[in-house]
Structure 1
Amino acid sequence: MGFQYGLSGMNAASKNLDVIGNNVANANTTGFKSSRTDFTQMVGSAVGSSSNMFSGQGVSVGAISQQFLQGNVSATGNALDVAINGNGFLQLELADTSTAYTRAGNLQIDKDGQLVNRQGAKVMGFKTDPATGDVISRKPSAITVPIDKGIVGQKTSAITAKVNLDAAASSYEAATNTPSYTTYSSSFDVYNSQGEATPVNLYFVKSDPAIPNSWEVHYQVDNSTPFAIAAGNLLSTVTFNNDGSFKTATPPVSTIPFKEADETTVIHATVDLKGLTQFASRFSVSKLSQDGYASGDLNSVSIEPDGTVYARYSNGKSQSQGQLVLAKFNNAQGLVSTVGGNWIETPSSGKPVTGTPSSENFGSLQSGSLEESNVDLTAELVSMMTAQRAYQANAQTLKTQDQVMSTLVNLR
């Protein structure tokens, strides 16, 4: 029986060396999780024997445990690289449509515009509203970026102005144009249905002193059109409360007209002036925006810390293309490793619970970075020497047992 004990020890030590060797080999593999060999004693006893008659039968490998400790996060500068900082796995759809999970976030865009990992597996995410980024479907699906087309221009329908008008400003005198009507002014572009820009100027002139806390807002569409306050386009007359806050606008709803591409059809963009104030401070424009934009080409794709994938265009606009899904398991030790550094679920791992990064108990994403292998090379080398000594000691057990048997056989 002594031969079996030594042989079981050699087999266990050999398996341990295999596990250590695999750890060392993957010390530079992105998202790799090291494993540990767990040993268990083999015990045998005769039927009906007393408790003090149990005899050891050697050792066996009880389990190969994966160590899901956080690896170091290193910056790469690649916008499509993501590191998971905390709990969770990226969800993948493999070529055979089966599902796998990974911690390796070195992603890329394939020829069809789909977000994939380095093995070509599709990275799954929740569908989102392109404009707001809000999740509109909790069913994971592939994330696709429209690489073959840009963003279509959108016409302007609403304009928002947030401007402070200097309470100490002098009233405007049309006869002498003092202070000049351009003193308090700002400009922006509006867009027709084809995304063609038309410049618009806004002029703010203080009303006659007989009408306190009152300003006129004039507009000019297209700089090539001659403009003068006397014959200009009055957008609205705005009055303010004594504390400088907005009071009324006459008319309550005002619009700026401009032309479509056919130079005939007129677009009316509504202007919101409720953000105007009159404080005793210098003239300042904090916001002058509109909801239209020009056409644009795809410039880049980026991933935010919450997993939202944005396509960024040459016109300065960004559109959400989806939000990465993270999955977690009640028993991550039950996951089985597969090719490409991926894991697949098993009955032991349980079903995955999915969610978005930085929510609930899920980790956050760090874009432009990758999670390194969590292998500690120093510790692995020490374990390797220990396993080697264990193998040699068990081999010595076999050798000694052989010598004992030879002595017994040679007795006369």
Structure 2
Amino acid sequence: MSFQQGLSGLNASSKNLDVIGNNVANAGTFGAKSARAEFADMYAASINGSGASNIGIGVQLAAVAQQFTQGNITTTENPLDLAINGAGFFQVAKVLSDPGAGPNATPQLDGANLYTRNGQFKINRQGYVENNQQQVLLGHSIDANGLPSASLEPIQLPTTGIKPRMTSGVDLEFNVDARAAATGPAGATNSIDFNDPSSYNNATSVTVFNEQGDDMAVTYYFQKTGDNTWKVFGTVDGSTLQGSAAAPEPIATINFPTSGGNPTAAGGGSVLLADGSTVTNGQIPITVPGSSGPQAITVDLSRATQYGTNFGVTNLSQDGYTAGQLVGTSIDASGVVMARFSNGQSASVAQLELATFRNPQGLQALGGNAWTATYASGDPTRSAPGSGNMGVLQSGALEESNVDLTAELVNMITAQRSYQANAQTIKTQDQVMQTLVNMR
């Protein structure tokens, strides 16, 4: 008997306790994965090389295998906290100490992608999404046409806001009361006083925007001049759209069919411009002042109706908006990053992508909740969350450590007893050696 077996057992038990202690220490670390010490026995080869001795010479640490089981998901109040429910890793990258020229420069990455399950992300001063280790989250940016970029790149939120969009079209869906009395003259004569409600039947208003995002109030006045004929006048910020202030002209004349339905449908209705020409699609052009000159807007009157019920506007929308600042973000289960702006607009700005590995236990742990790919893990397979075998994302949530404290405490007791037993074998071997030394 030698001291080798007991000494190797002490080393193995000590390393097992180290692994257990590390698991317990990271029980509260989001995205951390527990590890397991795996051991193998050792045998010495015989002198003539014909085989190994039947008596082992101890134990050795074969591997420390991490267990990539799913951790519990807990909700938070931060929309940038992300949890993966299922397989996959976030892809992040280290930023070099020299980020480039100025605070708004694109960060320079060290070229090696890292992988993590910890979804504690924040926005840095440049608008990039990063974690506590200053590693930026990677994904595909989405351009103004809704197309994602071809390569992985740091995700940056539009902290500068969104540019204004000039109004180009207005959809006006309404019903005028067929029972209403005529308030305007028939024929080509135009007579309306915008300050006198008795000179028109109804009015409604919509806000439009010029190329600089300045808002203008366009008001539409509806004046019945015959059984099925209505004239539509307009003002922008109080100024007449067609004609002069002293003699306003209609921007359109609507001749409803006798059925009262849409003027562009079959049945004899029509929409006429100020010059008397017919518009087959019901879309009339108007001109409003712009910051750099007159601004053309198309007003769609094709869904107007004249039925025997009260006047009502069922849809009044336009496609422009003023400038807006970033007020919030959200990330859906498929990894699409949405930005919300103060002008009520929202836009898709990025698409997250997860990575999986054929052998995740082959990943090399780097600390800071990050792993790197190795030959043993294989190359990553990338896809959007929720596609294939990828897990889905949950925004405003984090994945807790998968460490089972109860099991770890039991393992700790077992490892402690194993350490004591191996120490006892060394003590016994020492006593045997002492007996031999004392023999006479």
- TM superposition score normalised by structure 2: 0.79
Counterpart amino acid of residue 165 in structure 1:
N
> 1:174 corresponds to which residue?
183
Q: Classify 1:142/1:279 alpha carbon distance in 2 versus 1 (closer, same or farther; 3 Å).
A: farther
2 CA distance for matches of 1:240 and 1:409? 123
Q: Classify 1:287/1:353 alpha carbon distance in 2 versus 1 (closer, same or farther; 3 Å).
A: farther
Q: Classify 1:326/1:220 alpha carbon distance in 2 versus 1 (closer, same or farther; 3 Å).
A: same
Alignment of 1:1-400 (within 5 A): 1-44=1-44, 46=46, 47-48=49-50, 54-95=54-95, 96-130=110-144, 134-147=146-159, 149-161=160-172, 163=173, 165=175, 169-174=178-183, 186-203=204-221, 208-209=226-227, 211=228, 218-223=233-238, 225=240, 233-235=250-252, 237=254, 247-248=264-265, 250=271, 251=279, 252=281, 253-261=283-291, 265-274=293-302, 285=313, 287-400=315-428
Deviation at 1:345, TM superposition (A): 0.6
Deviation at 1:286, TM superposition (A): 5.0
> Secondary structure of 2:426's partner?
helix
Higher mean Cα deviation, 238-247 or 98-107? 238-247
For the aligned residue pairs, the C-alpha RMSD in angstroms reads 3.3
Report Cα offsets for 1:17-72 as digits up to 9, x if no partner.
Answer: 1111111111111211111112223244544469xx73333222221111111222
> Secondary structure of 1:357's partner?
coil
> Secondary structure of 2:3's partner?
helix
2 CA distance for matches of 1:240 and 1:329? 67
2:71–2:399 contact (8 Å) kept in structure 1? yes
Q: Classify 1:84/1:182 alpha carbon distance in 2 versus 1 (closer, same or farther; 3 Å).
A: farther
Runs of 5+ unmatched residues, structure 2: 96-109, 186-191, 272-278
1 CA distance for matches of 2:398 and 2:215? 42
Q: Classify 1:396/1:298 alpha carbon distance in 2 versus 1 (closer, same or farther; 3 Å).
A: same
Report Cα offsets for 1:223-254 as digits up to 9, x if no partner.
Answer: 465999x9553446375797967843631231
Deviation at 1:342, TM superposition (A): 0.7
Higher mean Cα deviation, 375-384 or 250-259? 250-259
Q: Classify 1:256/1:224 alpha carbon distance in 2 versus 1 (closer, same or farther; 3 Å).
A: closer
% identical equivalent positions: 45
2 CA distance for matches of 1:220 and 1:123? 50
1:45–1:55 contact (8 Å) kept in structure 2? no
> Secondary structure of 1:32's partner?
coil
Deviation at 1:192, TM superposition (A): 0.7
- TM superposition score normalised by structure 1: 0.84
> Secondary structure of 2:148's partner?
strand
2:184–2:225 contact (8 Å) kept in structure 1? no
> Secondary structure of 1:319's partner?
strand
